[in-house]
Structure 1
């Protein structure tokens, strides 16, 4: 059985980052089995804000346009 759930939260750093860290620390098998999390945002402005928050907190980014296959 899988756990399907949606968490709605603000992109304010003091709310978003603790939620990400909490998810990262969970160690039950279901969390380790599929370690992908999808973060959906409703507009480009919020996407850019999310990227800046994550960069500020040590998340590595990859510019896909720099890959050979993108050229």
Structure 2
């Protein structure tokens, strides 16, 4: 909220509702009032796997595909 302009729109990159990859992503948000004054801030999002990756390399995932016997 700006003292003169009132409520101003905030734009974040990546945008709200984005899907984040494993690891850390920095989100930066910016707002600009009617006079062109800009304020910004940032924060980090950290996404971790529910299970520890194998010691010998990157995470491995198993996909199960159901089979239908005829």
The two structures share one fold, judged by TM-score above 0.5: no
Which one has the bigger helix percentage?
A: 1
Which structure has the bigger radius of gyration?
A: 2
Instruction: Give the TM-score of the pair, scaled to structure 1.
Output: 0.20
TM-score normalised by length of structure 2: 0.20
